[in-house]
Structure 1
Amino acid sequence: MMEEEELPPLAVPISESSSESLKQSDEEESPVHASSGREEAKEDRRSWLFGSAAGLRDEEDTVGITMITGYLGAGKTTLVNFILHEHHGARIAVILNEFGDELGIEKAMVNDGAGGSLVEEWVELANGCVCCSVKHSFLQAIEQLLQRREKFDHILLETTGLANPGPVAAVLWVDDQLESPVRLDSIITVVDARNIKQQLADTREAGSVNEAYLQIAFADVVVLNKVDLVPGELADVEAQIHKINALVKIVHSVRCQLNLKDILDRRSFDVQRSVDIEALLQLDGHNVHDRSVGTVSISATGAADLSKVDDWLGELLWETGKDVEVYRMKGVFHVYGSDKMHMLQAVRELYEILPSQPWQPEDKRVNRIVVIGKNLNRESLLASFRTCLVS
């Protein structure tokens, strides 16, 4: 009889989260050092944007990748055009699906990548940006772009207007396929303030979700563009966006003119720095009111067994059934046997739980979890999570 093939895990933790490894991390955690001030001794044209975060980076040569997505006509091209031609002083490499006339970029040198012209063209712009056009594989584009590492500090990846950012985000977060020093920095979704309500109302096949919902659900920042066209409707538009993704930051813009600090080097996927505890506290009890994409938050007192939490996440992210989908999760756990908060971040089937700051004497030690997805049921989520608590 043939041996049974070993099945992959239900959900994929991207770092160890067992009690033993967490205990070791608590014991071996390195102290935080103050800035040496060496950045002050040099004039670096990127310091206005990236300098303040340089001292916090685990690796000096890590390259952040920001995804820009958005529904057709929202203004993605306008935002990319602003970044490519504005004299902001930051060195940004932009990966486009193709060069368009509206970007005002002249086609330049052709780079025949390994195995074919996957990267069609590279253009170096006067403001320090590097621009490339991709035929097929953005992974190979990034690998080739990293060969020019000395020319840029950050990578911007523009997706198509009908793209679901989830699969791309998962690949970039884990980085197994890239095998290079890159990190997913954040997902930026450009939203047309005048047309978003109609776009969200667009019908799809039974059981499917339209891309406008998905792009907001996965976003860390929504650039709410064309706000000058609907000044009296902004409150309603923002409420609808937050109903889908209660944790997203909303930035207003006209013709996508904005401060790049609002969208670049946000470190949204650094779990120990990205989970806003105060925001989680305010969202306790938040719930969706229809069977569509929305945000649910749950809260439970008591210490959680981390191994049971792993099992719970596996079931939630993989076995909930085709009618229920989880896109993103963030949370704070009170872990049994630990004096530190433990922070959760999840994208699709991938998740990470890491120890963070110590609980303070005045803190109420609770577990708070925010789930963004489709057809979520708060009571069911809370009941299933309570099985993870130590009795």
Structure 2
Amino acid sequence: MEDDDDCPPLAVELPPRVPSPPEQSPSDASPVGITVITGYLGAGKSTLVNYILNEQHGKRIAVILNEFGEEIGVERAMINEGQGGALIEEWVELANGCVCCSVKHSLVQALEQLVQRKDRMDHILLETTGLADPAPLVSVLWLDDQLESSIVLDSIITVIDAKNFRVQIDEHKNSSSFPEAFHQIAFADVVILNKIDLVEDSLEDLEKHIRDVNALVTVVRSVRCQVDLNEVFNRQAYGAKNSSHLQELLDYSKSVPPSRRHDNSISTLCIYEQDSVNLAKVESWLEDLLWEKKSIMDIYRCKGILYIHDSDQVHTLQGLSVLMSDFALMQAVREVYEVVPARKWSETESRMNKIVVIGRNLDINVLQDSFSGCKS
């Protein structure tokens, strides 16, 4: 690009910098996980939040509502406007050591206040009422310097009204446009298919439509959003610790047939490459795909495993010297991506690159051919 200032940001989750890791105080606490909850109005987002708060899970949870005026069924935070439009927040104490706040303006400010509290929370729920595209939130959570070491994005959960989802599917079939619910599915790590007690259709058919959009997503069925909380907490969908689960998802995606190559709908495609790849070429490939937008493809998410050539050598990522592993995880949400050195390949594993791309107007031939150019 001609002007580096115009480039979208790069998020890189790094191992210790070379030659020595930074010193950390023994008192330094691990980051608090944050779960983003999205979905159509009436799907059951607030029902899910209330259910979590009232369950006996022993966790102190902070709930943030990012649109003023939303009821969560317990107590509502008081909002006042400060001088110059600054946000003055009041955190409302709930049962079980939980807290709640409504955010009308600055989400970053709310999160910064939260992590500075003496009564440390175990987990954060961010209910994104009315927000169709969670991608801007992901950018904030990945890139904000003040939040980087204190908060880690755990997962994006989308709640779907199973009864009305069929109507959205039918409307979508003969239209070049698509309901925003499909956007939310594309970005989700977990979809809670709620209100299944009101559905007469085959639930398997509804789940197929969900996985046609996002083959990586975990679908959880529910009535009144009563779900196993293990499906909500500690998903680690964006970290290097959960590489085995990502491997299972990628293997599953291989069994999902590709959608029509030039269909206007959102779909999932899988890229495979046996040979090792050059990290710098992969970065250039991602930047062309996500930033330059040289084709009609609109990429929402990428997720995959990389087989890196020249591992155990120092590479430069975003101006930092990094000791790279030959097994790396790659994540991208809209225009922000990260590469996470994870571990070594085991002797029994078949080494190869596996990438799932979720987006609109995807072309498997273009994606496969262009990624093949990353070979070392």
Establish whether TM, by shorter chain, passes 0.5.
yes
| Preserved CA contact (<8 Å) 2:77 2:101 | no
Question: 1:276 and 1:86, CA in 2 relative to 1: closer, same or farther beyond 3 A?
Answer: same
On the 8 A contact 2:76/2:102 being kept in 1, the answer is no
The aligned counterpart of 2:258 is: 287
AA aligned to 2:10 is P
Deviation, structure 1 residue 67: 0.6
Give yes or no for the alignment of 1:374 onto 2:360.
yes
Shift of 1:268: 1.1
SS in 1 for 2:160: strand
Q: CA deviation at 1:322?
A: 7.1
Q: Distance in 2 between matches of 1:16 and 1:188?
A: 22
Distance 1:113 1:144 in 2: 15
- Cα shift readout 1:160-200 (whole Å, capped 9, x = no counterpart): 23431111112112233646611111111001111113234
AA aligned to 1:365 is R
Question: What is the CA–CA distance in structure 2 between the aligned matches of 1:377 and 1:254, rounded to whole Å?
Answer: 37
Q: Matched residues in 2 for 1:328 and 1:135: separation?
A: 27
How has the CA–CA distance of structure 1 residues 305 and 322 changed in structure 2, closer, same or farther, with 3 Å as cutoff? closer
CA displacement 1:307-366 (0-9 Å, x = unmatched): 111111111112234732111111112222337322111111111223223222332221
Partner of 1:319: 292
1:348 lines up with 2:337 in the alignment: no
Which residue of 2 is the match for residue 39 of structure 1? none
Q: String of CA shifts for 1:37-83, please: whole Å, max 9, x gaps.
A: xxxxxxxxxxxxxxxxxxxxx96241211110001211112112222
Give the 3 Å change call, closer, same or farther, for CA 208–197 of structure 1 in structure 2. same
Tell me, yes or no, if the aligned pair for 2:194 and 2:224 is still in contact at 8 Å.
yes
User: Does the Cα contact within 8 Å between 1:217 and 1:327 map onto a contact in 2?
Assistant: yes
Q: Partner amino acid for 1:325?
A: D
Scaled by the length of structure 1, the TM-score of the pair is 0.80
Q: Retained in 2: the 8 A contact 1:213–1:244?
A: yes
Offset of 1:241 from its aligned partner? Answer: 0.5
Unpaired segments ≥5 residues, structure 1: 31-57
Q: Which of 3, 12, 15 is matched with 1:15 structurally?
A: 12
Of the candidates 327, 337, 346, which is equivalent to residue 360 of structure 1? 346
When residues 211 and 59 of structure 1 are mapped into structure 2, their CA distance, relative to the original with a 3 A threshold, is: farther
Q: Which amino acid aligns with 2:220?
A: V
**SS, match of residue 53 in structure 2:** helix
Task: Spell out the pairing of 1:241-260 with structure 2 (5 A cutoff).
Answer: 241-260=210-229
Match for residue 207 of structure 2 among 238, 245, 255: 238
RMSD over equivalenced CA pairs, Å: 3.1
1:1-391 mapped onto 2 (5 Å cutoff): 6-8=3-5, 10=7, 12-15=9-12, 60-96=29-65, 97-100=67-70, 103-107=72-76, 116=85, 118-176=87-145, 178=147, 181-202=150-171, 209-230=178-199, 232-274=201-243, 276-284=246-254, 286-289=257-260, 290-321=263-294, 323-338=296-311, 340-390=326-376
Question: Per the alignment, do residues 234 and 134 of structure 1 end up closer, same or farther by CA in structure 2, a change over 3 Å counting?
Answer: same
* 1:272/1:10 CA distance change after superposition, 3 Å: farther
After alignment, is 81-90 or 131-140 more displaced?
81-90
Give the total of aligned pairs. 353
Task: Give the share of equivalent positions with the same residue, in percent.
Answer: 49
Structure-2 change in CA distance of 1:236 and 1:169 (3 Å): same
SS at match of 2:370: helix
Structure 1 residues 154 and 165, CA gap change in structure 2 (3 angstroms): same
The code of the aligned residue for 1:381 comes to: L
In the TM superposition, residue 209 of structure 1 has moved relative to its aligned partner by 4.7
CA shift at 1:110, angstroms? 5.8
Q: Give ranges in structure 2 of 5+ residues lacking alignment.
A: 312-324
Distance apart, 1:155 and its partner CA: 1.2
Q: Which moved more, 1:221-230 or 1:329-338?
A: 329-338
- One-letter amino acid matched to 2:264: R
TM, length-normalised to structure 2: 0.83
Q: 1:60 to 1:82 in 2, by over 3 A?
A: same
Provide Cα deviations, 1:11-51, integer angstroms capped at 9, x if missing partner.
6432289xxx99x87x9799xxxxxxxxxxxxxxxxxxxxx
Cα offset, 1:147, TM superposition: 2.9
Structure 2 residue matching 1:236: 3-state secondary structure = helix
Q: Distance in 1 between matches of 2:269 and 2:21?
A: 33
Quickly say closer, same or farther: Cα 1:70–1:140, change in 2 above 3 A: same
Q: Which amino acid aligns with 2:206?
A: V
Residues 104-159 of structure 1 deviation map (CA, whole Å, 9 limit, x = unaligned): 33456667668556255432112221011122222222122223251522111111
